[in-house]
Chain A
Amino acid sequence: MGLDIRTPIGLMFGTFGLLLAGYGLATGGSDIYQRSLGHNINLTWGLVLLAFGAVMLWLARRGARKP
C-alpha cells in the first residue's frame, strides 16, 4: 500500500496534542477550567494525544523499515 494510515493518524493527533497542550499552558489557571472540575484538561489531554501521535508515527517508521 502506498499510504501507511498510521502516518496521518500520528500527524493529526500530534498536531491536536501540541495545540491543546499549548492552549492549556496559555490558559493555565483560567476560569474555563471550572467546568472540568479544576483540572487543566487541555494540558493533560494534549500531552496524552501527543504521546499517542508519537507512538503511531514511530510504528509507521518501524513498519516502513521492514520489507
Chain B
Amino acid sequence: MPQGIELGGIDYVILVIYFLFVLGIGWALRRQTKTSEDFFLSGRSIPAWIAGLAFLSANLGAQEMIGMAASGAKYGIATSHFYWVGAIPAMVFVGVFMMPFYYGSRARSVPEYLKLRFDEKTRGFNAISFAIMTVFSSGISMYALAKLLNLLLGWDFNASLWVSAAIVLAYIYLGGLTSAIYNEVLQFFLIVLGFAPLVFLGLENVGGWSGLVAKLEPAATAGGYAPGAFSHSWATMGTPAANPMGVEWFGMVMGLGFVLSFGYWCTDFLVVQRAMAANSMAAARRTPLIAAVPKMLFPFLIIVPGMIAIALTHAAGSGFALPKMADGSWDYTMVIPQMLAHYFPPGVLGLGLTALMASFMSGMAGNVTAFNTVWTYDIYQSYIKKDATDAQLLWVGRMATVFGILASVGTAYLATQFNNIMDFLQLVFAFVNAPLFATFLLGMFWKRATGHGAFLGLVLGTLAAAVHHGLTLPAGAPVGIKGGWLAAPPMHAYSSEMAQNFWTAIWAFCVCFAATVAISLVTRRTKTDEDLRGLVYALTPRPKEEHLPWWKTPEGMGALVMVMAIALNIIFW
C-alpha cells in the first residue's frame, strides 16, 4: 500500500485559491464569448506565447505526469526519447511545414481540413473516431485522478470525480476555448513551479547528478542490465535485450520518433486547435516552436523524479521505497505521489498536489474543447443541421461541453467496472491513429492524392495495425488484449510491449502510405488545382515574413530548437 498523505489547513487553502482562480478566469471571459468563433477558436486572437504554452499544457495531462515519471523509474533517462526524439522534431515540422495549410486554409478543425483537402467520408471517419476518442481519454484521466485522490487523501471517489468535472465544465462553458487556453497557461506555470522543488530536494538527497548516476547502477544491474543502462539514453539502444525498454534504435526512431510522434503532434486536433486559435499566421507557426523549448526541458521536471525514486528504492537506508503491487513488482505509477509525501512538508505539499490537479484539469479541458468543436462543426453542422445559425452553433457548443463532460464521467464509472473494455478501446484508438500521418503527409505534399485514396488508405492502415497486433506478441504476455489473437503460435515475439507498439505503428503507416498512393493513381481527381490552393504545398504561395533576422523566422527558430534537442541527446548519450 502506498503511504497516505495528511493534508494541513494551509494545503486546503492553496487548493481552494487555485479553484477560485480558474473559475474566476472563466467568469471574467464570459462576456467576450459572443460568437461560435469566439467559443471554438478564441476568435483567432491569441498571441503566440500564450498559444504556445497552452499547446504544451493541453498535452500535459495526467497520463503524462504520472506516466512519464513512472517510465523514468522503469527505464531511466532513456524515457527522454519520448521528448527529444518523440516530440521535438514533430513539433518543429508542424510549425514550419504544416501550419501554413492548417491556418492558411481557414479550416476550423483538423477534420474540416480533411474535408477541404479530400472529401466528406474522410472527414467523417476522422471526426467520429476523434470525438469518441477524446471523450474516452478524458474519462480515463478523470478516473485516474479520482482514484488517486481516494487512495492518497482518502477523499470520496464520487465527490472527487464530480467536483473536478464541475470545475472544468464551468470554466469552459463560460469562456470556451479562450478560458481553456488561459487556464492552461496558468496550469503550465503551476505545474512547473509546483514540481520544481521536488527535483531540487530529490537531487540534493541523492548527491546531485553524479550521485544519482552512481545510485542508479544497482537499479540497472538488479534488472540484469549494464550498470549505465539507466543513465544513458542511446548507449544501450543497440539491441532490445540491452535496455529496460526492450526496443532497438531503429524501431524507436521510426515507430516513436517518426510515425507515432508526427501522427500525434501534427494531426491531433487537441494540440493543433491551440495553434489555430493564434492571432496570425506568424503566431500560429511559432506556437509549436515556442512550446518545443519547455517541452525539451520537461524530462528534468518529470523523468528525473522517477529516476531519483528508483535510485532511492535500491539504496539501502534511504528511507524511501516505492510501494509494491499485488504481484510483487514496483508500483511505478506512485512515483510522484510518494515523492510529494516524502519530501514536501505542509505548505509546499498543497502546492505540489494542486499542481497535480492542474495537470489533470488541463488535459481534461484540452479533450473537452477539442470534442465540442469537432462535434459542433464536423458532426452537427455537417450532418445534422447544415443551415444552423451562429447563435445555434454557440448553443450546441455549450451543450456539447455539458454532454462531453457527462460522457467522460460516465466513462470514468465504466472504467471502475470494466478495466478490460478500457484497454480494448485504447487499443482500437491506437489502430485508428497509427496511419493518420501518412494521409496528412500525402494530402499536404502531393496534389495527386484523392479522396478515395485517402479514405481507403486510412481504413487499410487501421486494419494493418490490427492484423500486425493479432499476429505478434510481446515476450511473456498472454494471448488476447496484448496480441497474438490471429495466429497460434504468434508469427513474431517482440522483446517488449513497447517494441510491439512501435512496429504496429510502422506497419500501419507504411500500408496506409502505399495504399493511398496506389488507389489515388487509379482514381480520378475530384478537386482541381484551384480547389487545392492553400491546402497543398505546391499550390500555395510561401508565407513571407520580411524584415526579420533569420533566428526570428519560423525556419530559423525551428533550426535552433533542433540544434538544442540534438545537443541534449548527445549530452545524455
Contacts and interface: CB of A to CB of B under 8 A. Distances in A.
Contact of A8 (B10, B14, B24, B344): B24
B345 A32 contact: yes
B347 interface: yes
Given A3-B28, A5-B186, A8-B186, A23 B10 contact: yes
Contact of B21 (A8, A19, A45, A49): A8
B50 interface: yes
Contacts of A19: 10, 13-14, 17, 347
Interface string A22-63: 011001001011011101011001101100100000000000
**Most B-side CB within 10 Å, residue of A15, A16, A27:** A16
B113 interface: no
B189 interface: yes
A3 B21 CA distance: 13
A46 B10 CA distance: 13
A53 B343 CA distance: 24
Nearest to B24: A8
Interface string B22-58: 0011001101100000000000010000100000000
B201 interface: yes
**Most B-side CB within 10 Å, residue of A1, A30, A39:** A1
A5 B345 contact: no
Contacts of A20: 10, 347-348, 351
A27 B28 CA distance: 36
A67 interface: no
A23 B346 CA distance: 9
B172 to A, nearest CB: 16
Nearest to A1: B45
B189 A13 contact: yes
Interface in B335-354: 342-348, 351
A36 B348 contact: yes
A15 B25 contact: no
A39 B201 contact: yes
Nearest to B351: A16
Contacts of A52: 189, 193
B345 A37 contact: no
A37 B24 CA distance: 37
Contacts, number: 88
Interface residues on A, range: 20 to 34
Interface in B189-214: 189, 193, 197, 201, 204-205
B197 A41 contact: yes
B499 interface: no
Contacts of A23: 10, 346-347
Nearest to B342: A35
Contacts of B347: 19-20, 23-24, 27, 41-42, 46
**Most B-side CB within 10 Å, residue of A13, A27, A41, A49:** A41
B173 interface: no
Nearest to A5: B182
Contacts of A36: 197, 201, 343-345, 348
**Most A-side CB within 10 Å, residue of B24, B185, B193:** B193
A41 B185 contact: no
Contacts of A9: 185-186, 189
Contacts of A49: 193, 351
Contacts of A46: 347
Interface string B126-146: 000000000000000000000
A13 B24 CA distance: 15
B503 interface: no
A48 B192 CA distance: 12
A60 to B, nearest CB: 13
8 contacts: A5-B50, A5-B186, A9-B186, A12-B18, A16-B351, A19-B13, A30-B345, A36-B197
Interface of B: 10, 13-14, 17-18, 21, 24-25, 28-29, 31-32, 45, 50, 182, 185-186, 189, 193, 197, 201, 204-205, 342-348, 351
Interface of A: 1-3, 5, 8-9, 11-13, 15-16, 19-20, 23-24, 27, 30, 32-33, 35-37, 39, 41-42, 45-46, 48-49, 52
Across the A-B interface, give the 8 residue pairs with the lowest CB-CB distance, nearest first.
A32-B345, A42-B347, A12-B21, A5-B182, A23-B347, A35-B345, A3-B28, A23-B10
